[in-house]
Amino acid sequence: MPVTEAAVQRFISKLVVVRSITHRKMFGGVGLYCDGIFFAVIDDDRLYFKVDDVNFPEYQAFGMPQWVVEGNNGGPMPYYEVPDEVLEDGPKLGEWIDGAVAVAVRKKSKSKKR
């Protein structure tokens, strides 16, 4: 999960314009939070948002790759890379952040029901 400080600053500078975002280092990468809800990851200098069946078609339309963690306990994760076109479009970026946060909230409420 190597991440350069330049990549972190590039992504954060785009995200904080449209939503209240915080971040912290985790396992060599960076976790991103909107209003305290974990919704995204920066890994290998790429930005990935949390995805489920509801928002997946947007990522699929852009042909974006899924985040895959390497190693013994790795594998595909429920995050997809955010396209540059979305990063450069403030209103659209806000919608995608909201979508990823909604995924995190849905996932959290499902796990509480168990």
Domains annotated on the chain, with CATH: 5-113 (3.30.1460.30)
Q: What digits encode the pLDDT tens for the residues 15-61?
A: 999 999 999 999 889 999 999 999 999 999 999 999 999 999 999 99
pTM above 0.85, yes or no: yes
**Separation between Cα atoms, residue 39 and residue 34, nearest integer Å:** 7
Q: Please say if the pLDDT value at position 112 is more than 70.
A: no
Contact at 8 Å (CB) between 59 and 80? Answer: yes
Q: What digits encode the pLDDT tens for the residues 49-85?
A: 999 999 999 999 999 999 998 877 789 999 999 999 9
- The pLDDT of residue 108: 82
